[in-house]
Structure 1
Amino acid sequence: MNIRIGHRGVIELMVDGKETGRAQLNGKRPVIVSGELPTDPPRPVSVRIAPGPGVPRCTAVIDGEDIPMSPRAF
């Protein structure tokens, strides 16, 4: 996940360096971004983002399982 916070915040779902999903960030409201994992066959993935306060929290949902994602700077 790339999360750009600002007047018009944007969330990008990146898989293997390629954007597979995108959503507008709307203040501090939680957002869900959907995309696909590059498996054979492709598997759908959703990521729930809680933007704040503080560090954004992201949880991937794959095959119905919640998988917390660790924040990291880049």
Structure 2
Amino acid sequence: MNVHNGHPGLVELLVDGKETGHSALRGNRPQLVSGELPTDPPASVTVRVTPGPGTPRCTAVIDGTETMMSPRAF
């Protein structure tokens, strides 16, 4: 996940460096971004993004299992 703050803000879901989903950032409210993982067959993934305040938090939901994603600075 890339979270671009600013006006307007943007949240991008990247898989292997390629954008597979995106959404406009709506303040600090949590939102969902959906995409696909390049598995055989492709698997759907939904990421719950909480942009702030502070460091953004992201949780991936794959096949009903939630996984907290570690924040990384670029």
State how many pairs are aligned: 74
TM-score, normalization: structure 2? 0.98
Classify the secondary structure of the residue corresponding to 2:21.
strand
**Alignment of 1:53 onto 2:50:** no
Instruction: After the TM superposition, list the runs of 4 or more consecutive aligned residues in structure 1 that deviate by more than 6 angstroms.
Output: none
- Note the residue ranges of structure 1 that are not aligned, 5 or more in a row: none
Deviation at 1:7, TM superposition (A): 1.1
One-letter amino acid of the structure 1 residue matched with residue 53 of structure 2: P
1:14 matched to which residue of 2?
14
For 1:48 and 1:15, the matched residues in 2 are separated by: 15
**Alignment of 1:30 onto 2:30:** yes
**Alignment of 1:41 onto 2:41:** yes
Deviation at 1:31, TM superposition (A): 1.0
Percent identity, aligned pairs only?
Answer: 68
Residues 24-63 of structure 1 show CA distances to partners (whole Å, capped at 9, x for unaligned) of 0000111100000000000000000011110000000000
TM-score, normalization: structure 1? 0.98
- Note the residue ranges of structure 2 that are not aligned, 5 or more in a row: none
For 1:73 and 1:60, the matched residues in 2 are separated by: 18
